[in-house]
Amino acid sequence: MIRALLPAIDRTARASLAAQIADFYADRIRDAGLRPGDRLPPIRRVAESCEVTRATVAEAYRLLAGRGLVESVVGRGTTVVHGGDAGQSASETRGEVGDSLSPYARAALRQTREMPGAPPLPAGRALVANFAELAPDGDLYPVDEWRAAMDAVLRRDGGGLLGYGHATQGLPELRALLAERWHDRERPVAADDILVTAGAQQALDLVLRTFCAPGDEVVVTTPSYHQMSGLLRAHGLDVLAVPFGPDGLDLDRLEQLLQRPTVRLLYLMPTFHNPTGQSLGLQERRALVEMLARTDVPVVEDEYQFALRFAGEPLPSLRSMDPRDLTVTVATTSKDLFPALRLGWVMGSAALLAPMASVKRFMDLETSALLQAALVEFVQRGSLDRHLEAMRNELRIRHQALRAACRLHLPAGCRVTEPDGGFVAWLELPQPGQGEQLAELALERGVRVVPGRVFDLHGRPSRGVRLSLTRADADQIAAGIAVIGECVHELLASPLAARPFL
């Protein structure tokens, strides 16, 4: 038996305890954390760790055997007999290439193939509203002003910017500019507190490579950013979920999870959370940081939309409030400017950024000096501030249109978040599974939404759908919510509404 892998149990979940245990080990087998020949932990040990009966664990192992993943032999325990790659071709699992792949590559390949998304419109169906895409609206990109900034830096220092540089942490002038613009009333940011990356996704990958090793546990919210879930599993990490619903973050559950000795990291989106659009309030942040102070678990806060606040006062970052100096903040230009720029950054103490920069050096040497210099020029010309002002104004209009349409068309029993910024809101219905049912009904009538199941770690039925406002203007929002309202009325009136969506 390899290093013991013990699951966490969510007693509020719809899935049975046995099913949760079975799903945990099935995921480990698919991710190559457990391979053919490895033994699962003894039933007694799993039962004690999860505080369940031995019969529950035995049922979980029976479910795994029924899937063809394990076999149980008296005196030998329960052994993995299948690599969990049934969806791959023979050449990928048994042939020369498949045999040569690392566990990371196999897990990344599987996660890429299984990555859920919003289904396309049926053939011949006209689009009424697209609430599915989160990429910014291309019609709002500042193409001419960006071209001018790029031309300016190429004319001024093209030879220097097109060669190899020696600034793994990022151009000093960009780091100084980012530090100056980061508004945090609790704790100023210095240039040395910033590591420039090739987008937020690389920043998150660097954080995982710095803090975690395969088999460690990472706590995320449920629902949660689905690309992060795939990244965690590609790294061979075990993912634990803490509820983050309309009533906020479940701090009691979080405190329980953080007591586990194998938890190595907490991942949060405290501002304009994807997929709900919610933010942790000031009191909730204070309570969270007070609780974190009793642990040594590092935190990564993903502030991917921090610049897109159109109402209310900015809230202090978790990093600025953390007395332990164990929180890092990830930010990006992808949402407030345009994704092709591929510039992001990590903010943290020197003790955390130094090893992270070393990891990055052997990954890609440095982030493009040309793009960094062009961004400095773009900011100094005032182009970024003009663009952000236009973006915030447009987002304010779109969110107002969404709220008005929801009040007009949605029946009682529905809940819609009302963010003070960002691209997304969350529509929640009364029963689990109704989110997926609504997504199907709306799609048939020309409205695309992303069902909440996409953002659940285990793909379980959801009450909600994500509404992204990046590709729908005020008129399309009004038309789309009118269609969604019709679907919700029909769904709640149907006797099928009581059935779970499986």
Instruction: Break the chain into its structural domains and give their ranges.
Output: 17-83, 115-134+386-498, 143-380
- What is the DSSP-derived secondary structure letter of residue 419? -
pLDDT band of 83, cuts 50, 70, 90: low
What are the phi and psi torsion angles at 135 (to 5°)? -65, 140
> Of 102-106, 250-254, 267-271, 350-354, which gets the smallest average pLDDT?
102-106
Cβ proximity of 364 and 198 under 8 Å: yes
| Residue-by-residue DSSP string for 381-397 | TTHHHHHHHHHHHHHHH
Give the fold, CATH level 3, of 143-380.
Aspartate Aminotransferase; domain 2 (3.40.640)
pTM of the full structure: 0.82
pLDDT, mean of residues 330-351 = 94
What percentage of the chain reaches a pLDDT higher than 90? 65
- Residue 461: its pLDDT value, please? 84
The number of residues in the chain equals: 502
Over the chain, what is the mean pLDDT?
Answer: 89
Higher pLDDT, 135 or 185: 135
CATH hierarchy code of domain 115-134+386-498: 3.90.1150.10
- Quote the CA–CA distance of 45 and 340 in Å, as a whole number: 49
Termini Cα distance of the chain:
34
One-letter amino acid for residue 10 of the chain: D
Q: Which residues are CB-contacts of 147 (< 8 A; sequence separation ≥ 6)?
A: none
Helices (H), ranges, 125-214: 143-161, 172-181, 199-211
pLDDT tens-digit map of 52-71: 888 788 888 988 887 778 88
pLDDT tens-digit map of 474-501: 999 999 999 999 999 999 987 644 433 3
- Quote the CA–CA distance of 296 and 319 in Å, as a whole number: 14
Higher pLDDT, 185 or 239: 239
> Does residue 290 carry a pLDDT above 90?
yes
Give the fold, CATH level 3, of 17-83.
Arc Repressor Mutant, subunit A (1.10.10)
Cβ proximity of 168 and 206 under 8 Å: no
How many beta carbons lie within 10 A of that of residue 346, not counting itself? 28
**How crowded is the C-beta side of 146, counted as CA atoms within 13 Å?**
13
- Residue 495: its pLDDT value, please? 60
- Residue 86: its pLDDT value, please? 41
pLDDT band of 100, cuts 50, 70, 90: confident
Helices (H), ranges, 32-89: 43-50, 54-66
- Residue 499: its pLDDT value, please? 39
Q: Which residues are CB-contacts of 274 (< 8 A; sequence separation ≥ 6)?
A: 134, 225, 304, 424, 466
- Residue 18: its pLDDT value, please? 84
pLDDT, mean of residues 137-144 = 92
Tokens at 143, concatenated: 């193409």
| Planar angle of CA 86, 229, 169, nearest 5 degrees | 125
- Residue 422: its pLDDT value, please? 96
| Torsion of Cα atoms, 329 then 335 then 337 then 340, to 10° | 100
pLDDT, mean of residues 171-197 = 91
What percentage of the chain reaches a pLDDT higher than 70? 92
> Does residue 87 carry a pLDDT above 50?
no
- Residue 124: its pLDDT value, please? 86
